[in-house]
Amino acid sequence: DAGVIQSPRHEVTEMGQEVTLRCKPISGHNSLFWYRQTMMRGLELLIYFNNNVPIDDSGMPEDRFSAKMPNASFSTLKIQPSEPRDSAVYFCASSPADTAYEQYFGPGTRLTVT
């Protein structure tokens, strides 16, 4: 079992550039979550999908952030334009059940915006 796969693992970009983070959930899991983790705010849920449909995007900080899940095996989180305060580790997680327990986290993407 490959687990949740995220790419890239590290991303350094300049302010104003578009950033796209990618996630492949565990096969058979029907829920997918995007989180952001910073020292100041800890781990925050940005958005989650159930059966490819966005359920709650209230954690998405601004219109600069968007997420898609075109099929059961792929999701993207896009930031356009990026800003230095977006620097964080972004985690994707998937879950096989209709509850949040046992979410399996990917390794994360460390984003640095200069």
Partner 1 sequence: EDKVVQSPLSLVVHEGDTVTLNCSYEVTNFRSLLWYKQEKKAPTFLFMLTSSGIEKKSGRLSSILDKKELFSILNITATQTGDSAVYLCAVEAMSFQKLVFGTGTRLLVSP
Q: Give the distance, in angstroms, between the CA of residue 4 and the centroid of all CA atoms in the same chain.
A: 11
State the minimum distance, in angstroms, from the CB of residue 67 to partner 1: 15
Nearer to partner 1, 12 or 55 (CB): 55
State the minimum distance, in angstroms, from the CB of residue 107 to partner 1: 5
State the minimum distance, in angstroms, from the CB of residue 14 to partner 1: 26
Q: Give the distance, in angstroms, between the CA of residue 33 and the centroid of all CA atoms in the same chain.
A: 6
Residue ranges that bind partner 1, judged by CB under 8 A: 4, 31, 33, 41-45, 48, 50, 55-56, 91, 93, 95, 98-108
Nearer to partner 1, 82 or 95 (CB): 95
State the minimum distance, in angstroms, from the CB of residue 21 to partner 1: 14
Nearer to partner 1, 81 or 87 (CB): 87
